[in-house]
């Protein structure tokens, strides 16, 4: 019988001990893999959301930058407006490849829900907006016939909620006219899914905001110096420049404090796992004091005992890590659901992105830490003197 | 080994649960508040999710369409729509049910909720969501009280296709705004569909 076989069989002799130790390692691995996956997934999703916006810089009316970021990414309220003339100033700049004007309006609808509710409408320029967002595909129909028609394009979820299809009519709070649905977008996984799009001029007219915009999206030429152009834009009166890099940094800084807390918890989970292993293996060494003594009296060398105990530890860590990794992958959707519930802002897409690198790093980290925890008990076992052990009462 | 595979299947199924129900359902906006409003004596409630695809598939869909006397229509009235049933308790005793469905209206989706007693009699009716020029009239108490004490039997012979039939109670339900017949008929279809589905989810299992 080899040392490995003895070590393997030993695990089944104290099943409850073994199970609880594996459970502790499993939980630690689960937390670690999920956290690393979240770290990667959140940033990727945020990048995708920002890249999906189709423009690098947004001009908004002066106000709180967080409000502006929320406005763009999630559809905020309490909107501020800027004059439409700004488009002429900006579009003529040589660094600009394309601009698109947007007017977002939040209107209270007394018939939405039992006590009323707010509906957000997005007025867009049909000649430029689709060019900025080429990823928008239609499930039915297409964009507006021109930019002042009483026509509506619905995001996938908005259409589902309103049970609308192309050709159906809709009412808009604040207007007594009927609006025709001309397009239903396919699901994008972005905030566009819940949006009700109308031609810009139509929104300006309905809500008495003629000559005003809430946002101007700017796409720069490839060789343009974005920082220098941003500096130029800062000179414009009463507007705020929000670059996508700024938005990303703002959100990432908000999330980083939450991440620091979570990583601290993961570190504690790490320590608990390590000391758990140390405790379990040490206990098993003490419990098997006489047995190890007999093994040594039969010819086992200290090296063999050390090896046996370390193999036991390695097996515990490997099994626990593998189960933890399986759990973290299997339950990633549930973990994501919970994280989304608690996070103030979560981008669309996969928040938890577990790849092979994360799996390998987590497995190696947990197994190494576990083995480190097993070294002391293994040394202790290796030093047991056969005669002392056999004479002892336990 | 079989036990292990079954456990693994359950775990994987739980992991994908959120993805399975992708179609839009009809939940109460504020269940705690709404349940107390309709059942002030209630002490708790339970939420169950059903779908025709899971309960019986195409065969059940055909049965529902036959009983409804109308086909499921459009992009959103599909076999996989999740339905949310609220079972209301007073201590351990069931005292009623609340169930809502989405229905296509003239200008938007209607969310029609019915409140049932334990025998399946309608005790309350309300629109959680309604977009109509005559919204005020449709939401009025005069309109909603016409659905009180209605049962599935009253709607058994009502045909949404022809908007005719039904018991004297159904025939006596008056349109609150004759300019909007589409939403009125959509409401009656929604009520019949709600009664049929609740019968399938709850009453046909227990009472028959």
Which class for B142: exposed (0-12), middle (13-18), buried (19 or more C-beta within 10 A)?
exposed
Q: A-chain residues within 8 Å CB-CB of B72?
A: none
Percent of chain B with pLDDT over 70: 87
Domains identified in chain B, total number: 1
Taking a C-beta distance cutoff of 8 angstroms, is the pair A102, A121 a contact? no
How far away is chain A from the Cα of B56, in angstroms, using its nearest Cα?
24
Residue A71: predicted pLDDT: 52
How many residues are recorded in chain A?
A: 394
How far away is chain A from the Cα of B154, in angstroms, using its nearest Cα?
27
- Residues 147-206 of chain B with CB under 8 A from chain A are none
DSSP SS3 for A263: helix
Q: Suggest the residue from A163, A171, A172, A329 to mutate for an interface test with chain B (most B CBs closer than 10 A).
A: A163
| Nearest partner of A99 among A62, A156, A163, A55, judged by Cα | A55
Q: Which two tokens stand for residue B11?
A: 């775990």
Apex CA A351: angle with CA A345 and CA A353, to 5°?
Answer: 160
Q: B-chain residues within 8 Å CB-CB of A169?
A: 106-107
How far away is chain A from the Cα of B117, in angstroms, using its nearest Cα?
22
Q: Please check the confidence at residue A77 and state whether its pLDDT lies above 90.
A: no
d(C-alpha A285, C-alpha A268), whole Å? 25
Residue A305: predicted pLDDT: 85
Nearest by CB to residue B75, choosing from A111, A157, A165, is A165
Q: Please check the confidence at residue B6 and state whether its pLDDT lies above 50.
A: no
Contact B131 A170 (CB under 8 A): yes
Helix, strand, coil percentages (3-state) for chain B, rounded to 5, are 40, 20, 35
Which residue do the tokens 């049965």 mark? Answer: B63
Q: What is the DSSP secondary-structure string of B46-75?
A: EEEEE-HHHHTHHHHHHHHHHHHTS---TT
Q: B-chain residues within 8 Å CB-CB of A110?
A: 135
Which residue do the tokens 């649960």 mark? Answer: B17
Does B61 fall in a domain?
A: yes
pLDDT bracket for residue A376 (50, 70, 90): confident
By residue range, what is the domain housing residue B86?
A: 24-206
Which residue do the tokens 């972005």 mark? Answer: A190
H-type alpha helices, chain A: 3-13, 15-52, 65-74, 86-91, 129-132, 156-162, 200-206, 226-234, 244-287, 289-297, 302-330, 332-342, 356-382, 386-391
Residue A380: predicted pLDDT: 83
Q: Please check the confidence at residue A307 and state whether its pLDDT lies above 70.
A: yes
pLDDT bracket for residue B194 (50, 70, 90): very high
Averaged over A278-293, what is the pLDDT?
79
d(C-alpha A22, C-alpha B27), whole Å? 41
DSSP SS3 for A373: helix
Q: Please check the confidence at residue B8 and state whether its pLDDT lies above 70.
A: no
Could you tell me the CA-to-CA distances from A33 to A258, A368, B7, B14, B170 in Å, in that order? 17, 15, 22, 19, 59
Q: Please check the confidence at residue B206 and state whether its pLDDT lies above 50.
A: no
Q: Suggest the residue from B16, B75, B193 to mutate for an interface test with chain A (most A CBs closer than 10 A).
A: B75
Q: What is the DSSP secondary-structure string of A24-63?
A: HHHHHHHHHHHHHHHHHHHHHHHHHHHHHT--SEEEEESS
Contact B29 A162 (CB under 8 A): no
Averaged over A194-212, what is the pLDDT?
91
| Nearest partner of A153 among A120, A200, A197, judged by Cα | A197
Residue A331 contacts B, CB cutoff 8 Å = yes
Does B18 fall in a domain?
A: no
Residue of B nearest to A332 (CA): B15
d(C-alpha B119, C-alpha B11), whole Å? 37
d(C-alpha A144, C-alpha A138), whole Å? 12
Rg (CA), chain B: 18
Beta pairing partners, A241: A59
Which residue do the tokens 């497995």 mark? Answer: A363
Q: Beta-strand (E) ranges in chain B?
A: 44-50, 83-90, 93-104, 109-116, 122-129
Q: What is the DSSP secondary-structure string of A175-197?
A: --SEEEEEEEEPP-SSGGGG-EE
How far away is chain A from the Cα of B12, in angstroms, using its nearest Cα?
6
Q: Which two tokens stand for residue A319?
A: 């099994």
Contact B131 A113 (CB under 8 A): no
| Nearest partner of A232 among A68, A102, A94, A128, judged by Cα | A94
Q: Suggest the residue from A37, A107, A111 to mutate for an interface test with chain B (most B CBs closer than 10 A).
A: A111
Residue A231 contacts B, CB cutoff 8 Å = no
Q: For A333-358, how does the pLDDT look when each residue is reduced to its tens digit (9 = 90+)? A: 888 888 888 776 677 778 888 999 99
DSSP SS3 for B118: coil
Q: What is the rounded average pLDDT for all residues in chain B?
A: 86
d(C-alpha A178, C-alpha A123), whole Å? 17
d(C-alpha A218, C-alpha A56), whole Å? 6
Residue B75 contacts A, CB cutoff 8 Å = yes
Taking a C-beta distance cutoff of 8 angstroms, is the pair A376, A282 a contact? yes
How far away is chain A from the Cα of B163, in angstroms, using its nearest Cα?
21
Q: Please check the confidence at residue A74 and state whether its pLDDT lies above 70.
A: no
Averaged over A304-317, what is the pLDDT?
87
Rg (CA), chain A: 31
Does B11 fall in a domain?
A: no
Q: Please check the confidence at residue B33 and state whether its pLDDT lies above 60.
A: yes
Q: A-chain residues within 8 Å CB-CB of B144?
A: none
Contact A170 B74 (CB under 8 A): no
Does B13 fall in a domain?
A: no
Q: Which residue has the higher pLDDT, A244 or A137?
A: A137
pLDDT bracket for residue B176 (50, 70, 90): very high
Q: What is the DSSP secondary-structure string of A68-98?
A: HHHHHHH--SS---EETTHHHHHHTSTTEEE
Does B35 fall in a domain?
A: yes
Q: B-chain residues within 8 Å CB-CB of A332?
A: 15
How far away is chain B from the Cα of A193, in angstroms, using its nearest Cα?
13
Averaged over B137-150, what is the pLDDT?
93
Q: A-chain residues within 8 Å CB-CB of B109?
A: 161-164
d(C-alpha A308, C-alpha A306), whole Å? 6
How does A246-260 read in b/e, with b if 16+ C-beta sit within 10 Å?
bbbeebeeebeeeee
Q: Which two tokens stand for residue B134?
A: 């005559």
Nearest by CB to residue B129, choosing from A113, A332, A337, is A113
Which class for B127: exposed (0-12), middle (13-18), buried (19 or more C-beta within 10 A)?
buried
How far away is chain B from the Cα of A164, in angstroms, using its nearest Cα?
6
Range with the poorest average pLDDT among A176-185, B30-39, B74-83, B192-201: B74-83
Contact B74 A178 (CB under 8 A): no
Q: Please check the confidence at residue B169 and state whether its pLDDT lies above 90.
A: yes
pLDDT bracket for residue A394 (50, 70, 90): low
Residue A78: predicted pLDDT: 54
Residue A45: predicted pLDDT: 82
Averaged over A265-275, what is the pLDDT?
76
Does B115 fall in a domain?
A: yes
Residue A24: predicted pLDDT: 82
Q: Suggest the residue from B30, B76, B126 to mutate for an interface test with chain A (most A CBs closer than 10 A).
A: B76
pLDDT bracket for residue A142 (50, 70, 90): very high
Nearest by CB to residue A161, choosing from B18, B19, B109, is B109
Does B33 fall in a domain?
A: yes
Averaged over A146-168, what is the pLDDT?
87
ipTM score of complex: 0.75
Contact A160 B23 (CB under 8 A): yes
d(C-alpha A348, C-alpha B91), whole Å? 41
Contact A163 B11 (CB under 8 A): no
């Amino acid at each position: 019988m080899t040392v490995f076989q003895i070590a393997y069989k030993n695990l089944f002799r104290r099943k409850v001990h073994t199970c609880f130790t594996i459970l502790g390692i499993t939980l630690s691995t689960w937390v670690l893999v999920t956290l690393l996956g979240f770290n990667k997934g959140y940033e990727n999703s945020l990048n995708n959301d920002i890249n999906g916006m189709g423009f690098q810089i947004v001009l908004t009316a002066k106000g709180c930058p967080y409000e502006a970021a929320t406005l763009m990414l999630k559809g905020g309220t309490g909107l501020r407006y800027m004059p439409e003339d700004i488009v002429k100033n900006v579009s003529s700049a040589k660094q600009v490849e394309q601009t698109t004007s947007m007017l977002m309006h939040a209107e209270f609808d007394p018939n939405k829900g039992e006590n009323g509710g707010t509906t957000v409408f997005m007025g867009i320029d049909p000649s430029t907006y689709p060019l900025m967002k080429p990823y928008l595909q239609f499930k039915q129909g297409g964009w507006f016939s021109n930019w002042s028609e009483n026509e509506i394009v619905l995001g996938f979820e908005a259409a589902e909620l309103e049970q609308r299809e192309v050709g159906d009519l809709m009412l808009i709070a604040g207007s007594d006219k009927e609006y025709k649905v001309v397009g239903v977008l396919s699901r994008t996984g972005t905030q566009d899914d819940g949006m009700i799009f109308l031609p810009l001029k139509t929104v300006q007219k309905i809500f008495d905001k003629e000559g005003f915009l809430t946002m101007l999206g700017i796409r720069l030429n490839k060789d343009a110096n974005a920082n220098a152009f941003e500096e130029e834009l800062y000179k414009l009166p009463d507007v705020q420049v929000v670059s996508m890099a700024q938005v990303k940094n703002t959100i990432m800084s908000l999330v980083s404090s939450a991440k620091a807390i979570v990583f601290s918890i993961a570190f504690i989970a790490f320590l608990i796992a390590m000391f758990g292993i140390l405790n379990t293996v040490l206990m098993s060494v003490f419990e098997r004091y006489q047995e190890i003594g007999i093994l040594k009296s039969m010819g086992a060398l200290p090296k063999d005992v050390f090896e046996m105990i370390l193999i036991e530890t390695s097996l515990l860590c490997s099994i626990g890590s593998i189960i933890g990794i399986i759990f973290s992958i299997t339950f990633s959707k549930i973990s994501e659901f919970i994280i989304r519930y608690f996070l103030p802002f979560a981008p669309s897409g996969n928040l938890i992105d577990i790849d092979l690198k994360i799996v390998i790093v987590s497995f190696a980290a947990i197994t190494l830490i576990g083995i480190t925890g097993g070294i002391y008990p293994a040394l202790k076992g290796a030093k047991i003197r056969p005669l002392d052990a056999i004479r002892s009462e336990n | 080994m079989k036990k292990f595979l079954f456990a693994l299947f359950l775990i994987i199924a739980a992991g994908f649960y959120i993805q399975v129900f992708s179609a839009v359902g009809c939940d109460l906006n504020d269940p705690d508040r709404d349940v107390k409003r309709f059942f002030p004596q209630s002490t708790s409630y339970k939420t169950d999710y059903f779908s025709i695809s899971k309960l019986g598939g195409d065969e059940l869909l055909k049965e529902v369409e036959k009983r409804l006397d109308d086909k499921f229509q459009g992009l959103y009235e599909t076999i996989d729509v999740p339905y949310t049933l609220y079972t209301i308790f007073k201590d351990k005793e069931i005292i009623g049910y609340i169930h809502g469905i989405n229905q296509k209206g003239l200008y938007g989706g209607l969310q029609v909720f019915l409140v049932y007693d334990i025998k399946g009699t309608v005790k309350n009716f309300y629109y959680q969501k309604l977009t109509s020029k005559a919204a005020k009239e449709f939401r009025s108490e005069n309109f909603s009280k016409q659905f009180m004490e209605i049962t599935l039997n009253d709607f058994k012979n009502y045909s949404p296709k022809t908007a005719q039939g039904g018991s004297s109670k159904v025939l006596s339900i008056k349109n609150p705004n004759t300019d909007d017949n589409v939403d009125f008929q959509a409401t009656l279809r929604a009520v019949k569909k709600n009664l049929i589905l609740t019968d399938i989810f709850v009453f046909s299992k227990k009472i028959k």
